[in-house]
């Protein structure tokens, strides 16, 4: 049995819009990945605990509420605390380029995929990072 790529797609914070994250989920599933979905309005602590239990390779954070600068650093610092910083953290949603730069530079985010991203680019990026 070949190793499967496991991805945890999450909706942190008070944000009720999951159309985008579910489209990404379907694309990743169709690319042969196992996609676990958190459901809406999750706290950083709950997400990190779930990511650890599910032993995922990739954590995908979808945030459209504008609270990304509060939520994402909290999540990545929890990952470091739990010695799980080897998980690849991707972010998506409405995240301005200036914030994306800071998240990538200072907060352990690997890549930010904004609106209009071709889902194939996300698949390719994950494959490339995992050496597949």
Partner 1 sequence: MSEASELYQRLLTGDRRAAARLISMVEDGEEGAREALEALHQHSGRAHIVGLTGSGGSGKSTLACRLAQVYRARGKTVGIVCVDPTSPFTGGALLGDRVRMQELSGDPEVFIRSMGSRGALGGLAVAINDVINILDAFGKDYIIVETVGAGQVEIEVVKYAHTCIVVTMPGAGDEIQAIKAGILEIGDVFVVNKADRDGAMRTLADLEMMVETKPGGVGAWKPPVVATVALEGDGVEVLAVEIARHYEFLKESGTLTKKIVGRMKAEVLAILSLQVSEAAGRALEDGGVASSLVDRMVNRDIDPHGAAAELVKELNL
E strands, 2-105, where? 6-10, 34-37, 58-63, 88-93
Strand (E) or helix (H) holding 111:
strand 111-113
Residues 6+ apart with CB under 8 A from 88: 57, 58, 59, 110, 126, 129, 130
The minimum distance between CB 105 and partner 1, in angstroms, equals 27
Q: Residue 51 or 95: which CB sits closer to partner 1? A: 51
Q: Residue 37 or 125: which CB sits closer to partner 1? A: 37
Q: Residue 30 or 118: which CB sits closer to partner 1? A: 30
Residues near partner 1 (CB under 8 A) are: 1-4, 6, 25-26, 28-39, 42-43, 45-47, 49-50, 52-55, 82-84
Q: Residue 90 or 95: which CB sits closer to partner 1? A: 90
Let me know the angle formed at the C-alpha of 25 by 35 and 121, rounded to the nearest 5 degrees: 110
The minimum distance between CB 32 and partner 1, in angstroms, equals 4
The minimum distance between CB 34 and partner 1, in angstroms, equals 5
Tally of CA atoms within 13 A in the half-sphere of 14 that contains its CB: 0
The minimum distance between CB 110 and partner 1, in angstroms, equals 20
Provide the token pair at 26.
């379907």
Among candidate residues 123, 61, 121, 68, the one with its CA nearest the CA of residue 91: 61
Q: Residue 43 or 96: which CB sits closer to partner 1? A: 43
The minimum distance between CB 57 and partner 1, in angstroms, equals 9
């Amino acid at each position: 049995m070949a190793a499967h790529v496991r991805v945890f797609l999450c909706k942190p914070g008070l944000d009720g819009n999951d159309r985008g994250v579910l489209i990404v989920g379907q694309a990743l599933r169709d690319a042969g990945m196992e996609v676990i979905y958190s459901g809406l309005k999750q706290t950083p602590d709950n997400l990190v605990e779930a990511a650890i239990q599910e032993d995922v390779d990739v954590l995908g954070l979808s945030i459209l509420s504008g609270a990304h600068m509060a939520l994402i650093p909290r999540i990545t610092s929890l990952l470091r605390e739990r010695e799980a910083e080897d998980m690849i953290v991707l972010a998506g949603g409405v995240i301005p380029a200036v914030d994306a730069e800071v998240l990538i530079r200072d907060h352990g985010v690997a890549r930010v995929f904004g609106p209009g991203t071709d889902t194939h680019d996300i698949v390719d990026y994950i494959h490339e990072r995992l050496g597949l």
